[in-house]
Chain A
Amino acid sequence: MLEIKNLHVNVEGKEILRGINLSVNAGEVHAIMGPNGSGKSTLAQTLAGKQEYEVTKGEVLFDGKRLLELSPEDRAREGVFLAFQYPVELPGVSNTNLLKTALNEIRKYRGLEAIDTMEFLSMIKSKMKLVELEQSLLSRAVNEGFSGGEKKRNEIFQMAVLEPKLAILDETDSGLDIDALRIVANGVNKLKTKDNATIVVTHYQRLLEYIVPDFVHVLYKGKIVKSGGKDLALELEEKGYDWIKEDTKEVQVQV
């Protein structure tokens, strides 16, 4: 589904991603872990199409299409979804309005009719239950005055409504207490099918107890320096990131 080849990205003139290679297939959950500043969020936002991030080298194929050539909105319409690390507050824009507009633009892109209002309302009601959101949040402005946990749940709620093929969760666990974490993870797990894939970007292993990854990748200084199964996450939790850093040094010395 997703094929990242030798991806290099500059942020404000500084090279942050320095040759990422990653393959994600339908039905898989990949975790990308790494210490702060290793480039995890840059990777997530680059895939979503953040303009300020400059791709200097490499290629990303999404279902065979060149993802990097698409606008952020077309990537979303193709089925990419980014759950933001810091969801943006949009005063004056209601959650319902955002979702309905988004859904209909995605449907239009795929040659589908606009969704019927009644159908839309009953659909969003059922999706809200998935992340245990209060219905009153629907008429409120997007993320405005939401608690940290509500914002993260709202991201997963949007994901549930838009039904992406590839969901990228950028530090969705940061700032969540254990109950909120469980709710968010539960939502993500329920949305999982054999046809979609999830990339979980996180600093901590904690979330991965609830969203169990098929693959774990360690990102360090803009490169994936280690890949493995879910046990790698436990190893990282136990030993911290220092041994990865040491390892990398050794490798570099050897080379």
Chain B
Amino acid sequence: MNEVIDFKKLIIDKFDGFERSLDGNSSAQLDSIKKDALAKFSSLKFPTIKDEEWRFTNISPLLKFNFNPVVGKKEFDTNEFGKLKLKDSFNNRLVFVDGIFSTKLSETGSLSKLMIAKNLKSAVKENNDMFHKYFNKYADYNEQIFASLNTAYCSDGAFIVIPENKIIEEPIFLLFISTSNEDQALLQPRNLFISGKNSEATIIEQYIGLADNVYFTNAVSEVVVGENARLNHIKIQEESGSAFHISKVEADQERNSNYESISISLGAEISRDEISATFKAEGSECTLNGLYLTNGSQLHDTHTMINHAKPFCNSHEHFKGILEGKSRGVFNGKVIVRPNAQKTNAFQENNNIILSNEALVNTKPQLEIFADDVKCSHGATIGQIDNESLFYLKSRGIGEENARTILIHAFAGDVVKTIKSEAIKNYLEEILDKRFNKES
């Protein structure tokens, strides 16, 4: 049993040590933001299941640990790095080891000529204009304790700027590795992605834990999608089984922009994705898709928010969950259509398959519509593998296990097929195979 600890106080007490560890890599502007965020963090309360937004996600197990925001730089076994397969499919990558950018493991050669792809720390160091213009403008931490925590202790992450009119065909791969070197590490990547006018790019994030130790990833990504720009954003979460993962993505969309997010959640004991998109001007489109696979005692929570602040915008959401063991899933999809946002189309769907007797899903669509000329729909299903479908496959000679595998693949396929990267698609198919093909 863990004794009761004052989680907040322990973290705040480490602030000075954390600041010192940055070794002067900061700026006056950033410092004042951090201090403000720290003050907010100390005044806010951690949510409990009495808070509507956290009703089904009990984070008290997380608050039992004395997490350390100061992560020392230790040697990382490059053999371990070699074993990570997915990265090999991408030529351009930024690698972060225990929250710290690794120049050695990163490859940005061909990209650096076309765009800015670097770590946040160096953007701060060089006093980058774009950084100061956009940083901390979207992920509001005033009422969100995890965002304030991330902001107060923000030290590194990815800083990506796609210049105007540039079409970057090769995906930019961001790899966040948690090693076994640190126990109870608090890793807080802070990302800023800016897509210039008429640009197009794909950003892929992978969060992966190498050993089964307890740590906490608390990530915040701010995303700006400029006028007529397209940004494809894929996130794959494969944290260690005992880890915690909370991630917040705030996307801000200019006129005629297109933001597509696909969030794949596989790891962590407790994980939560908060994904929000705001339409700042007319003619934009946003697609939020996701797939979560949980087993054992895992809990995964997806909270989305689409803010239809302007007319003539479309949003599509499709999240699917496959749950085993005693695991739990939570989906909450909020869509707000503001009074002037006429001609809005907003579609939302959440489907879950439960493969055991003890898994549980709580799903809730939340549509708040204040305009009258809109098309909005939502649907949620929680079910088991369809017996009719199973019988049909078996009646063709396909055995029970294979038939189930085929149906599970097909279920996940709705989301997997929306992924444009073949490498990611194959990677996920392999994961699905390993997980559900019990026969072979």
Q: Which of B353-393 contact A (CB under 8 A)?
A: 387-389, 391-393
- Inter-chain contacts of A158 with B (CB < 8 A): 396
Q: Is the pair A98, B413 in contact by a Cβ cutoff of 8 Å?
A: no
A111 at the B interface (CB under 8 A): no
In Å, the complex CA distance between A194 and B395 comes to 24
A139 at the B interface (CB under 8 A): no
- Total chain B interface residues with beta-carbon distance under 8 A: 23
- Inter-chain contacts of B387 with A (CB < 8 A): 51-52
In the complex formed, the residue of A with least CB distance to B413 is A92
- Inter-chain contacts of A77 with B (CB < 8 A): 397
In the complex formed, the residue of A with least CB distance to B411 is A92
Q: Is the pair B414, A92 in contact by a Cβ cutoff of 8 Å?
A: yes
Contact partner of A101 (CB less than 8 A), chosen from B389, B398, B417, is B398
Q: Is the pair A91, B414 in contact by a Cβ cutoff of 8 Å?
A: yes
Q: How distant is B371 from chain A, measured CB to nearest CB, in Å?
A: 32
Q: Is the pair B394, A76 in contact by a Cβ cutoff of 8 Å?
A: yes
Q: How distant is B247 from chain A, measured CB to nearest CB, in Å?
A: 27
In Å, the complex CA distance between A196 and B54 comes to 62
State the total of A-B contacts with C-beta under 8 angstroms: 77
Q: Which of A75-125 contact B (CB under 8 A)?
A: 75-77, 81-82, 84, 87-88, 90-93, 97-99, 101-103, 105-106, 109
In Å, the complex CA distance between A97 and B398 comes to 11
In the complex formed, the residue of A with least CB distance to B417 is A92
In Å, the complex CA distance between A174 and B414 comes to 32
In Å, the complex CA distance between A103 and B393 comes to 12
B406 at the A interface (CB under 8 A): yes
In the complex formed, the residue of B with least CB distance to A90 is B389
Q: Is the pair B392, A87 in contact by a Cβ cutoff of 8 Å?
A: yes
In Å, the complex CA distance between A71 and B397 comes to 10
In Å, the complex CA distance between A73 and B398 comes to 6
Q: Is the pair B395, A106 in contact by a Cβ cutoff of 8 Å?
A: no
Q: How distant is A39 from chain B, measured CB to nearest CB, in Å?
A: 19
Q: Which of A30-64 contact B (CB under 8 A)?
A: 48-52
Q: Which of B385-440 contact A (CB under 8 A)?
A: 387-389, 391-400, 402-403, 406-407, 409-411, 413-414, 417
8 A–B pairs (Cβ distance < 8 Å), ordered by A: A51-B387, A73-B395, A73-B399, A73-B403, A76-B394, A91-B410, A91-B414, A141-B410
